[in-house]
């Protein structure tokens, strides 16, 4: 768990502010995840949190007063631009808190909405704890799971999303404005602009303190990388974490996961998976490789092409062990899929069918695996020695194979 905290030395505007962030959250999940909170006491006057519930609904809470959308943020591969604009000086209640997702205002709520009374002073921008990534009340909790980028707090102005993004004239897609022109005010800040530090990039020097470790990711609003998909699982689902790049086995059954983006029918592609545990055949096992789309459609969620750590039952017999890194290479021109263990070839599939395939990780028993689709991390640990990637898209442990292969990401797809 990682989060950022600061306690301002002087108060700003407690009635009017805007929070904007680009989010790739891990939902659905086992609990709510918090983007930002402010706390001075465990009551309505002393608590404010902006968060996403386990079912994907987004909203805000003032201790016992909850407000959550009917809309659900369930696309596990999407970056969402989320904005909450607050101005309690407004006479109309619905104008006091406005919630936006990808430039669309949320007007339908499954819970609430419970708007603060006119001219209410909130704990945001006050001289009490302000936290990114945690619901920082007396007991704490609801830590954020997923990615964040370009996180702004503007003290003193209620803004619309157009201050932070714009519509692409060609695609109609809502896209990020990486350098917005805003006045941050006394307590405002700009986090996660180009790095994963606790430093404020707004020029206000409103730096935070970091608890835990914040891994840096190549995955960002302008280049979306593949992850594992918690919505595409078998009858027994693994537990997902680390931005949906880690799966943990939790039961004595095969627990399947696959990528959010299919391997295209053209091009050359590469990804890696690290086995975090040893296997012993009958109780803990791995299947790492790729699965045909037809297998997903038929709910037969096992690997069509895989390296395995199944010493007792496997047909490949590659013997995956703890800390082994499995590289998967798909060359659509040559119609081949090759699997490498620690950079040594162990599986070759020739005459690859002209069918979409998905990266696949299946675990059995209490083992975990970390996928690296080009983020440069296995779990929260940076890779030890980056290989070369001719396309400069993604960071991998080993040289990509073939040398002109690329990561499965939106820029790679556009090439």
Task: Report, in this order, helix, strand and coil percent for the chain, each rounded to 5.
Answer: 5, 40, 55
Per the CB < 8 A criterion, the answer to whether 279 and 314 are in contact is no
Superfamily of domain 239-414: SPRY domain (2.60.120.920)
> What is the rounded CA–CA span in Å between residue 147 and residue 101?
16
Q: In this predicted structure, what is the pLDDT of residue 414?
A: 80
Query: Beta strands of 156-230 (E only): which ranges?
Result: 165-167, 174-176, 189-191, 209-211
Q: In this predicted structure, what is the pLDDT of residue 390?
A: 61
Answer yes or no: CATH 2.60.120.200 is held by domain 3-211: yes
Per the CB < 8 A criterion, the answer to whether 353 and 365 are in contact is no
Cβ count within 10 A of residue 414: 8
Cα of 393 vs its chain's centroid, Å = 18
Is residue 125 reached through a cis peptide bond, with omega within 30 degrees of 0 on the bond before it? no
Residue 297 C-beta-side C-alpha neighbours within 13 Å: 6
Q: Which residue has the tokens 């006119």?
A: 118
pTM of the predicted structure, to 2 decimals? 0.90
DSSP strand pairing (165-167 vs 3-6): unpaired
What is the location of CATH 2.60.120.920 in the chain? 239-414
Q: In this predicted structure, what is the pLDDT of residue 317?
A: 52
Q: List the alpha helices (DSSP H) in 47-144.
A: none
The pair of structure tokens assigned to 186 is 């006394």
> What is the rounded CA–CA span in Å between residue 335 and residue 263?
12
Per the CB < 8 A criterion, the answer to whether 33 and 21 are in contact is no
First to last CA, the chain: 36
What pairs with residue 153 in β-bridges? 19, 189
Residue of 141, 32, 18, 1 whose CA lies nearest to 81: 18
Q: Which residue has the tokens 């040398």?
A: 403
Q: In this predicted structure, what is the pLDDT of residue 73?
A: 94
Q: In this predicted structure, what is the pLDDT of residue 372?
A: 96
What is the location of CATH 2.60.120.200 in the chain? 3-211
Low-confidence ranges of the chain (pLDDT < 70): 29-30, 281, 299-302, 310-318, 390-392, 415
Q: In this predicted structure, what is the pLDDT of residue 45?
A: 94
Q: What separation in angstroms does the CA of 2 have from each of 7, 119, 134, 147?
A: 17, 34, 8, 12
Instruction: List pLDDT tens digits, range 97-150.
Output: 999 999 999 999 999 999 999 999 999 999 999 999 999 887 778 899 899 999
Q: In this predicted structure, what is the pLDDT of residue 378?
A: 93
> What is the rounded CA–CA span in Å between residue 55 and residue 33?
11
């Amino acid at each position: 768990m990682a989060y950022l905290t600061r306690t301002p030395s002087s108060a700003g505007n407690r009635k009017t502010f805007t929070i904007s962030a680009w989010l790739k959250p891990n939902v659905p999940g086992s609990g709510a995840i918090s983007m930002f909170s402010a706390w001075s006491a465990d009551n309505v006057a002393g608590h404010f949190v902006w968060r996403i519930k386990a079912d994907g609904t987004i909203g805000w809470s003032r201790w016992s007063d909850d407000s959550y959308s009917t809309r659900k943020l369930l696309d596990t591969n999407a970056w969402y631009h989320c904005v909450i604009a607050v101005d309690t000086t407004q006479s109309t209640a619905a104008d006091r808190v406005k919630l936006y997702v990808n430039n669309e205002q949320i007007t339908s709520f499954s819970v609430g909405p419970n708007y603060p009374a006119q001219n209410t002073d909130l704990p945001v921008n006050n001289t009490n704890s302000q936290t990114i990534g945690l619901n920082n009340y007396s007991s704490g909790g609801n830590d954020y799971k997923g990615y964040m980028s370009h996180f702004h707090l503007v003290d003193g102005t209620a803004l619309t999303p157009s201050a932070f993004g714009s519509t692409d004239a060609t695609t109609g897609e809502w896209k990020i404005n990486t350098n917005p022109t805003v006045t941050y005010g006394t307590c405002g800040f700009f986090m996660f602009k180009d790095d994963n530090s606790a430093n404020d990039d707004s020029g206000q020097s409103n730096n935070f303190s970091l608890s835990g470790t914040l891994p840096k990711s190549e995955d960002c609003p302008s280049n979306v990388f593949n992850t594992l998909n918690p919505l595409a699982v078998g009858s027994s689902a693994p537990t997902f974490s680390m931005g949906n790049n880690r799966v943990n086995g939790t039961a004595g059954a095969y627990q399947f996961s696959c990528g959010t983006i299919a391997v295209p029918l053209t091009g050359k592609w590469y990804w890696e998976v690290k086995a975090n545990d040893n296997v012993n055949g009958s109780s803990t096992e791995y299947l790492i490789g790729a699965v045909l789309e037809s297998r997903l459609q038929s709910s037969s969620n096992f690997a069509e092409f895989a390296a395995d750590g199944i010493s007792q039952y496997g047909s490949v017999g590659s013997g995956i062990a703890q800390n082994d890194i499995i590289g998967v290479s798909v060359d659509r021109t040559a119609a081949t899929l090759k699997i490498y263990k620690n950079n040594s070839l162990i599986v070759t599939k020739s005459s690859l069918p002209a069918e979409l395939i998905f990266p696949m990780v299946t675990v059995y028993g209490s083992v975990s695996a970390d996928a690296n689709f080009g983020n440069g991390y296995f779990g929260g640990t940076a890779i030890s020695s980056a290989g070369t990637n001719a396309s400069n898209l993604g960071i991998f442990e080993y040289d990509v194979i073939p040398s002109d292969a690329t990561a499965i990401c939106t820029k790679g797809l556009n090439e």
